[in-house]
A and B are shown apart, each in its own frame.
Chain A
Amino acid sequence: MSITIPIGPQHPALKEPISLKMTFDGEIIKDADIRLGYNHRGLEKLFEGKSYVQNIYVTERICGICSHSHTTCFVNGVEKLLGIEIPKRASYIRMLIGELERVHSHLLWLGVAGHEAGFESFFMYTWRDREIVMDILEESSGNRVHYAINTIGGVRRDIDETQRTRILNSLKILKERTDYYKNLGTTEPSFVARLSGIGILPREQALSLCSVGPTLRASNIDMDVRKDDPYLAYDEVPFEVSTADTCDVLGRTVVRIKELFQSYNIIEYILRNLPAGDIKAKVPRKVPAGETVSRYEAPRGENIHYIKSNGTEKPERLKVRAPTLANYPATVAMLKNGFIADIPLIFAAIDPCICCAERMVEVKDTKTGRAEIKTFDELKKYSRDFYKNHKKIKKDTVWPF
């Protein structure tokens, strides 16, 4: 007897809406079908009505986790169309934020993998340490999620000496922790039993289904945009492309952990060799007519923007393809003949970002006026004062039962 069960659009395993129609025979998956569109915001249409500078902030809001990836990809393309070189320091800072973002995304993924496998302790630990990266990002860019550090021609904020040393110090803790997760994630028997041997994607299939990122690299294909098509200053930075040959979810975990170590090394290299100079070049408002393809290695894989300009302030067409969309065909192939229990793990193993894949969010206000900057301590003080003054109200409140 086979039954069809909808996984999603709303389901505890999915953090964002997507519909997976599964056909089961007992506990075995026989067929899977993906339906998108629950999160579609019509961003590509929106891009055409906004200026290039405004579009930086719209692209930033394609996704919450790889927000820097999309802006960098877009801004790199526009700079190519303009024919300008950005200052070296600016491209190093862009790379720094990009790598910090990768660290934060991979730590988040490790936690999600733990959660989907029912290993809540792993989830709690990795997310605790992810806060270290979030704090660094907040300190260097001002925001935890949408860093808004890119602008056409450079970056908007500089890294100073105290920040530099603080990041280097935090890296030490992160390295130590990641080492522990590497041991835990690849040796803990019940966790490994859940991860290994499921969601098999053989090398040939991975190639023919055009999957990208860690999913592809876990099938032993060393494709990494940073190596193949170096943007910014990645041709100057020494690093290795991490691969695994197991072709399963465990392989994808190992690839991500290896990439974490690579990212730590890149960040260290960037901070030790940060060139001096300007952080922003002067750019004209209008972009000459032309077209370009811009690629970026986001934490989830290859991110590609096609930009076509028509000589005005607004782009003629901006096509965005986020890594998750490229991995969906492979996901369907991986799900077949698996167990029900493996659905969340296999689906999570591509690190799905449904927002990204569907390119939504409408930006109400693209004017990023300089807001009041408060330090964390000031904020803490503010909250303490706030509650001190409000204590009386709390005491006299009559609770409804």
Chain B
Amino acid sequence: MAILKTFFYLLVYPGLVFLIVYSLFCEWFDRKTYARLQNRRGPLHTGKAGLLQPAADLIKLFSKEDIVPEKADRIMFTALPVFGLAIILTSAMYLPIWNYSMTKTGFNSFPGDIIVLIYLLSLPTIILFLAGWHSTSFFSTIGGVRVITMFFGYEIPLLLSVLSPAILAGSWRLAEIAQFFQANPGLLSVNVIGFFIALAALQAKLERTPFDIPHAETEIVGGTFTEYTGRKLAFFRLITDIEMVVGSGLIATVFLGGFPGGIFSSFIWFIIKTLFVIFLLSVIKAAFSRLRIDQMVRFSWYILAPLGILQIFITLLVKLKF
């Protein structure tokens, strides 16, 4: 029975099937929100209200010709999208959704899993850099270098901001952090600054406006993805979509109190909370213009990182009072 449960967990919910379906739905939600904020209608024609549009795009990409540039490193060029998808699917396992027990540690919930999750979330960035680098075209190389430059900018603020709820809850286990905040919902307000830092950092991680510097189309064509076509590009799209779900899941866990309950109530909580985070991400996307790479790095080091440290100080003060 336990094995069946684990298989269900890995393959159906919140594993492979759910992640792919839900990430496509999130892409639709994001596109629709973004479009409505811009006075457009967004996807309309495929499926009801364009719900199937992301899936249709994906299927279209899968059926397109697959080209590997002559000068590119063939093995790395082909392997990187698959690695990326595997990593990001793995990372979703560490979100505390129904299949864990508070008393026992399991394969997907143990003290320190927050660090594992952040580590797994940062790997796709390296994959993107390598993909750009091994494409060997000018635009991809510049895109790859920009990915890694930005990575040094947002990763520290993200870690700092996620750290403060962990300090407050006194645990390195996501499930325990979530449970702590479910028990003391008032304490969520301590982490407001951290929440916004994490949102900004996640936006940068997902390479969306104002941080879509690595694939700024008007500057460096497609950036890292310039040489990618067909199936491999579809993989990268899927990676970005699932990364959005897992990233907002992480934020929802540590800042919004996680997803309490069993399989059904956790499902509802997961959808409500992640969609809320994705909605905020869409608003950020619509409200700003793209920054330059130097402005982005300056922004993260001069504004985000000090704010993150401030957040930790506040948390420590609150912790001392309790």
Contacts and interface: CB of A to CB of B under 8 A. Distances in A.
Query: Do A's and B's CB atoms come within 8 Å in the complex?
Result: yes
Interface of A: 3, 5, 11-13, 27, 114-122, 124-125, 128, 188, 190-191, 193-194, 339-344
Given A12-B217, A341-B216, A121 B287 contact: yes
A121 B38 contact: yes
Q: Which of B138, B290, B293 has the most CB of A within 10 A?
A: B290
Given A119-B209, A190-B291, A341-B290, 13 more contacts: A3-B138, A5-B138, A13-B217, A114-B289, A117-B290, A122-B289, A125-B39, A190-B288, A190-B290, A191-B289, A194-B290, A341-B213, A341-B216
Given A193-B295, A341-B213, A344-B219, A119 B142 contact: no
A340 B149 CA distance: 15
Given A5-B138, A118-B212, A343-B219, A124 B289 contact: no
A341 B38 contact: no
Contacts of B212: 118
**Nearest 10 interchain pairs by C-beta:** A118-B290, A119-B289, A13-B218, A124-B38, A344-B218, A191-B289, A190-B288, A341-B292, A117-B289, A12-B217
Nearest to A22: B138
Interface residues of B, number: 27
B210 interface: yes
Nearest to B37: A121
Contacts, number: 76
A195 to B, nearest CB: 9
A116 B218 contact: yes
Contacts of A12: 217-218, 221
B224 to A, nearest CB: 15
Given A13-B219, A121-B286, A343-B219, A193 B291 contact: yes
B220 interface: yes
B40 A124 contact: yes
A190 B210 contact: yes
Contacts of B293: 27, 339, 341
A188 B289 contact: yes
Contacts of A339: 292-294
B105 to A, nearest CB: 44
A89 B217 CA distance: 47
Contacts of B219: 13, 340-341, 343-344
Contacts of A344: 218-219
Nearest to B59: A401
A119 B288 contact: yes
Interface of B: 37-40, 138-139, 142, 209-210, 212-213, 216-221, 286-295
A342 B292 CA distance: 8
A77 B285 CA distance: 50
A344 to B, nearest CB: 4
A250 to B, nearest CB: 13
A118 B216 CA distance: 8
Nearest to B149: A27
A118 B138 contact: no
A118 B287 contact: no
Contacts of B290: 117-119, 190, 194, 341
A124 B286 CA distance: 10
Nearest to B40: A124
B39 A194 contact: no
A70 to B, nearest CB: 28
A188 B220 CA distance: 24
Given A120-B38, A194-B292, A11 B221 contact: yes
Contacts of B287: 121
A196 to B, nearest CB: 11
Contact of A340 (B40, B220, B286): B220
A11 B217 CA distance: 9
B289 A190 contact: yes
30 contacts: A11-B221, A12-B218, A13-B218, A27-B293, A114-B289, A118-B209, A118-B212, A118-B216, A119-B209, A119-B290, A120-B38, A120-B286, A121-B38, A121-B286, A121-B287, A124-B39, A124-B40, A125-B38, A128-B39, A188-B289, A190-B290, A191-B289, A194-B289, A194-B291, A339-B292, A339-B294, A340-B220, A341-B216, A341-B293, A342-B292
Nearest to B292: A341
Given A124-B39, A124-B40, A340-B142, A115 B292 contact: no
B154 to A, nearest CB: 16
Contacts of B217: 12-13
Contacts of A341: 213, 216, 219, 290, 292-293
